[in-house]
Chain A
Amino acid sequence: MKSFIVILPISLLLLLVVNRNAFRRSLLHPLGWKEYQKNILAYGLRFYPRQYLIIHFTSVMLVLIASFVFALPLPYILFLCFVVIIFLPTTLLWQAVFIREERDFFMLTSFLQQTIAVFKSHPKIYAALSECLTLTDGDLKRSIIQWMNDIEAGSPLKESSITFLKKVPHFISGNLVNLMVFVEEYGSTEYAEGLEMIQDDIDDWIEDTYAFKQQQLELRNRIVILSLMALLIAFISKQMLFQTQMMQQVELYQFTMFLFLLSLIITLLVAQRIYCTPWIEKGEELWH
């Protein structure tokens, strides 16, 4: 037991060194909440201090309850609490990334769909952009305004779209811009089919991405349920041991319980990480 009391602070220090960023935005750091607030605001979301503290309090309480139920000694309890406090802001940020990515994805796809619809009836890029600008926000809106300004300034149509394509380098947006530029520059009567093809691509893209995100959420929920089941089995095992009053190897029991709870916390962290992957695949971004 004594050796673990030495090992635990050392491993905690190592953990902090390895995950310096996670530590910097955790409550253990004096300015941690400010760093977290900065990160959240960078994602365009609001920071609610009360909610932030309640989540921390609830998580630590859950760890404390589990530790007391499984009769862990204080060093182990402290270690588990530190791990939770260090990584909780990071998992909350993953949630923020998911919300931001989802919003950006649907904003982009609805902008592209609307642009196609407007361009179909009146094949002028500037008119289509100005009509669909209201659907956008943030960086996307800024890149479209830049595109429109460049057109106004008289730049060639293809060059003026560069800012937009740098912001949205997906092949579908590249294809749409290419087609619109060709139609406006050289004129064509059979562009509707090309636009429909791109429209179909967008529909498929939305459907596939949404289905994938649903799969990710299902997987996360499955992992959480499995973790809860594992907790229940561990509780039954522990009750069985205590009822027989045959416990002699207390240290072994406590150490395995500690490892079990730690693995559960890590698994729940990984489960949160699953759906935080980008909504737009890097392999489909070609217009860098």
Chain B
Amino acid sequence: MALTLFNLILIGTLIYFSDDTEKLLTSILSEQDLERGFRIIGKGERIPFMKQRFAKFKQTSYLFVFCGLLPNSLTWEVAMALLCYVVYKYPYWQLKVAIRKQTSLVRYQFPIYLRQLQVLLQNNTVVFAIEQSIDHAPDSLKGEINYLHKQLLAEPHQLNHYLHFLDYYALPEVGRAMKLLYRYNTVGQADSYRQFNRMIQSTSKWLRQERQQHKSTQLLIYQWWGLVPLFSVTLVFLSVMMNILLTMFGKGVNG
């Protein structure tokens, strides 16, 4: 009874001070990397996202009312608290999965784009090569390349434009490649040739590494299939054993 009363007061408070609770939870429980995540997946904003999570959390919390009425009410209370936690966290976990997918796509496609750029650099300046590459750049990078190009048209020798390219992905390889690109754009003819060769070598290595990793991930799913026959034969063996045991106990040991 006491537990039911406590739950009712808790839910009542949650409803009455809904806006304040929402603000408090948004400020305390909001994850640090939300902004970065929305930028990576290219959609969504922090406030509406948190509002939606809070609404779902509130709807789930109404179930607490029934906990006090059930047998083993404390266990149900803990289970319900866990459910509320999962309901609250689930959209964030989904966001994390989307971020991971997008990051791995960028990691895979950036060296491909860099290679495109290197071919264009054979006959063009850096800014013109970037402009030429936009049409056939990977979709995951197109928006950012467009933005970089606009910035470089205004200030072609500004290092920050290169450094800020895809910086929210926090991929050290991208930063390194962009620094090399900047140096290639700014240093003299003899030096630039050396820089360019270095960039080609590192891109080749990176491209192969990403391709191999991508392919081995594809194989990973199928590797589990190899266990299916072994698992099913184990079931067969167990059923045979059970058959023998049932027969023995059915007849009696001496029977």
Contacts and interface: CB of A to CB of B under 8 A. Distances in A.
A37 interface: no
Contacts of B250: 248
B248 interface: yes
Contact of A227 (B116, B212, B216, B229): B229
Interface in A226-270: 226-227, 229-231, 233-234, 237-238, 240-241, 244, 246-249, 252-253, 256-257, 259-260, 263-264, 266-267, 270
B233 A175 contact: no
Contact of B214 (A191, A230, A231, A281): A281
A175 B219 contact: no
A66 interface: no
Given A171-B112, A171-B116, A219 B122 contact: no
A201 B204 contact: yes
A44 interface: no
A131 to B, nearest CB: 22
A25 B15 CA distance: 61
Specify the main secondary structure of chain B where it touches its partner: helix
Contact of B237 (A183, A191, A233, A274): A233
Is the interface on chain B under 10, 10 to 19, 20 to 34, or 35 or more residues?
Answer: 35 or more
Contacts of A191: 122-123
Contact of B136 (A241, A247, A287): A287
A60 interface: no
A283 B244 contact: no
A176 B218 CA distance: 28
B229 A274 contact: no
A5 B231 CA distance: 26
A244 B136 CA distance: 71
Given A175-B115, A286-B137, A190 B248 contact: no
Given A174-B136, A267-B228, A234 B233 contact: yes
A212 interface: yes
A256 B137 contact: no
B65 interface: no
B245 to A, nearest CB: 9
B198 interface: no
B218 to A, nearest CB: 7
Contact of A264 (B204, B223, B232): B232
Interface in A174-215: 174-175, 178-179, 182-183, 186, 188, 190-191, 193-194, 197-198, 200-201, 204, 208, 211-212, 215
Contact of B229 (A238, A252, A253, A263): A263
A233 B236 CA distance: 9
A230 B240 CA distance: 15
Nearest to A215: B219
Contacts of B225: 223, 267, 270-271
6 contacts: A171-B115, A175-B115, A227-B229, A231-B229, A264-B232, A266-B228
Given A175-B116, A247-B243, 7 more contacts: A191-B123, A194-B119, A240-B240, A248-B243, A249-B243, A281-B211, A281-B215
